[in-house]
Chain A
């Protein structure tokens, strides 16, 4: 009985896969629903406003030079525009600074999915040795010497003094407001009935996306990501071989992930999901990124190795690169020059017509001396 059912299902799936409308077995693209808000960190306007300030505030980093916004710049697609994120002074990072746009929808953050909430992502970035290098207790104490924050934290969280964990909550709440506006995204307008929202090239691109090119296999659902992990064979960034500071980071990151000294000294390359599972089958796997706002977030891939959307399409047209665990989903696509152009045109239609930009918030000024103690009992 069971065997029969399974067989039928498998046969059905095969038939579907063979049919021209491969898209049907995957969740369709379409406008994003409102982002999920965790019950223990509800969004309020005051919290979002506070979070925005904190996102910009350089005092949430080791030496006051690396606020969140330094690697997630609104004008650079909320990334930093470079292949590899710039990293803390004196260091280099080893991966691309991802856009924070629509990060609200990911169930796991970072390229290898190492944390499960924005609340956990913020301190990992602000405290990471090659990112913000901030010490929690220092950052917390700094906030307490800015009366404007003392008042706002009290209003938002009810605490007598700002607590650094609440800072991460506020930043997470703010980031949940940084989402694509479906009214400004051609592909979303098209999906909701405006048949003129896409031009002919884009429509042909969409058909390729859902069909011949089979992008939809992984880049599906409103986020255009199934949030799974795959090896596609993106080559390692040359800084591991060519840059002394890059080599330092390479060994240090391996060490950070909890491998033995022998392992990290003999390591070559970034192993991705392997660091989380420690399963050799996961070496070189990365979480499928969303394809939204691609127009503004070049360069691409976990290490920025592909400069343009044309390069990305070409990479997949060849069936990806070399990797020991490369997904079987990738095969040469044999797209014509016109088809590649059409696909790029459609990918761009997943971005808003205008980039989402924001002005710098007005930050509290200099640290202020503490008031006299309020009561001896506290």
Chain B
């Protein structure tokens, strides 16, 4: 009895000292800490994910059988060739529907604190993000159980799965986690800014360095766009104008109001604007707030903002120069033309090589001869 108590005590102390050590290590990280001014950071050295999961996840990512009617795959709206978005202002969504927000890049998901434009999902859980996209009626409209049985019908998938989990069948949440692992493995590489941050002064031009100074100074972008991917992961209101097509095209209004209805938002039939985080929090102060977008790989991810209303980086800079739109938290910046140009040049230095992943193709479903044992 006493012995056990002692053991427990020792364990607790051990855990505490580990925690303290972790805290100390965290303090010694170059990423901005309490009291320091926020800054951008280089992309951290990342631990590679589980290779088998990533390989499987890549197949699943491109496989249109993960949607209800085989109409779309993850890659339809998050296409590697289009910056892992879809290049449209507003995303298409599931066949017969049209979505009311922009399809964001999935790059650097590993470093997101929150997922989705209204920040409704936790950034540490990519599997849940994938589940949401696959099972939501207006994105992939897939029954999770039907999905797992479809995948089970593909012998190549079954074999790969067994390599990863010998005693397990392809099943729901693990499928989502596998795709999450693939998504988390895609990140910005070779960005000039990262080389600069790691000591290569020549990696940025003089103009880009000026832009960086503006970013941290006069333009104060850094207040929200900080850390390795240039996002504080918080919700802010910048007053981006509504995309007119959301009301003009009823198919888009349908998905918007339906999202509000299923989120339990009060008075949803009277909504005529994108209320952002409010639909989730029901706190009026959150009306019109959206998650701070990352600034990585902007070169490939136009158009910008939660509804794609800003077509180019120049438009984005002009927008912030004016202090954002109606109801914005921001102030006007009064940047000169050359300052805007420098800022843009700097923003582009945060983009890396184009991250390309080829569609591995879709192995066919086969009949299981072992009917009754699968």
Tell me whether A63 and B69 are in contact (CB under 8 A). Answer: yes
**Which residues of the partner chain B approach A369 to less than 8 Å between Cβ atoms?**
247-248, 250, 253
Q: How far is the CA of A252 from the CA of B251 in the complex (A)?
A: 31
Given known pairs A129-B146, A248-B365, A265-B374, the reply for A141 and B254 (CB within 8 Å) is yes
Say if the beta carbon of A190 comes within 8 Å of chain B.
no
Residue of A nearest to B144 (CB): A129
Contact pick for B96, options A64, A247, A251, CB 8 Å: A64
Contact B258 A63 (CB under 8 A): no
Interface check A142, CB cutoff 8 A: yes
Residue among A89, A252, A372 making CB contact with B69, cutoff 8 Å: A89
Main secondary structure of the interface of B (DSSP, over half): loop
Stretch at the interface among A78-86, A224-232, A236-244, A333-341: A236-244
State A130–B143 Cα separation when bound (angstroms).
10
Judged by a CB distance under 8 angstroms, whether B270 is at the interface is yes
When chains A and B are docked, how far (Å) is the Cα of A327 from the Cα of B48?
62
Q: Which stretch in A34-42, A131-139, A279-287 binds the other chain?
A: A131-139
Residue of B145, B270, B372 near A373 (CB, 8 A) is B270
Q: Which residues B235-268 have CB closer than 8 A to chain A?
A: 247-248, 250-251, 253-255, 257-258, 261-262, 267
The distance in angstroms between the C-alpha atoms of A133 and B67, with both chains bound, is 11
Residue A376 interfacial (CB < 8 Å)? yes
On chain A, the residues within 8 Å of B143 by CB distance are 129, 133, 252
Q: Tell me if B303 is interfacial: C-beta within 8 Å of chain A.
A: no
Q: Does A65 contact B (CB under 8 A)?
A: yes
Does A362 sit within 8 A of B, measured CB to CB?
Answer: no
Convert A285-322 into 0s and 1s, putting 1 for each residue whose CB lies closer than 8 angstroms to a CB of B: 00000000000000000000000000000000000000
Is B91 an interface position by the 8 A CB rule? no
State whether the Cβ of A157 lies closer than 8 Å to any Cβ in chain B: no
- A252 contact set on B, CB distance < 8 A: 143, 145-146, 149
A256-284 interface bits toward B, Cβ cutoff 8 Å, 1 = contact, 0 = none: 10000100011110000000000000000
Cα–Cα distance between A244 and B262 once the two chains are bound (Å): 35
Q: Does residue B164 face the partner (Cβ distance < 8 Å to A)? A: no
The answer on a CB contact under 8 Å between A247 and B254 is no
Q: Give a binary string over A345-374; 1 marks a CB under 8 Å from any B CB, 0 the rest.
A: 000000000000000000000111110111
Q: B23 in the interface, Cβ–Cβ < 8 Å?
A: no
In the bound complex, how far is the Cα of B83 from the Cα of A306, in angstroms?
A: 54
8 Å CB contact of A242 from B96, B248, B367: B367
Q: Which residues of A contact B121 (CB under 8 A)?
A: none
Whether B373 contacts A137 by the Cβ 8 Å rule is no
Interface string of B137-168 (1 = CB under 8 A from A): 11001010110011011000000000000000
Contact A268 B69 (CB under 8 A): no
A244→B366 contact, CB < 8 A: yes
- Which residues of B sit under 8 angstroms from A245, Cβ to Cβ? 153, 365
Tell me if B276 is interfacial: C-beta within 8 Å of chain A: no
Q: Pick from B65, B94, B150, B152 the residue with the most CB of A within 10 Å.
A: B150
- Residue in B closest to A144 when the chains form the complex, CB atoms: B269
- Taking CB atoms, residues of chain B closer than 8 Å to A160 are 269
- Alpha-carbon gap, A261 to B67, bound state (A): 23
B38 within 8 A of A: no
Q: In the complex, which residues of chain A have a beta carbon less than 8 angstroms from the beta carbon of B335?
A: none
| CB neighbours of B250 from chain A (8 A) | 145, 366-370
Of all A-B residue pairs in the complex, the 4 with the closest CB atoms, nearest first, are A135-B137, A64-B96, A367-B250, A373-B270
A-B contact pairs, 17 of them (CB 8 A): A62-B94, A63-B68, A64-B95, A89-B68, A91-B146, A133-B141, A137-B137, A138-B138, A141-B257, A144-B269, A243-B367, A244-B365, A247-B371, A248-B153, A268-B371, A369-B248, A369-B250
New A-B contacts (5) at CB < 8 Å, excluding given A62-B69, A247-B371, A369-B253: A134-B137, A145-B254, A247-B153, A248-B146, A376-B270
> What residues make up the interface of B, taking CB atoms closer than 8 Å to A?
65, 67-71, 94-97, 137-138, 141, 143, 145-146, 149-150, 152-153, 169, 171, 247-248, 250-251, 253-255, 257-258, 261-262, 267, 269-270, 272, 364-368, 371-374
Interface of A toward B, CB cutoff 8 Å:
62-65, 88-91, 129-130, 133-135, 137-138, 140-142, 144-145, 160-161, 240-245, 247-248, 251-252, 255-256, 261, 265-268, 366-370, 372-374, 376, 378
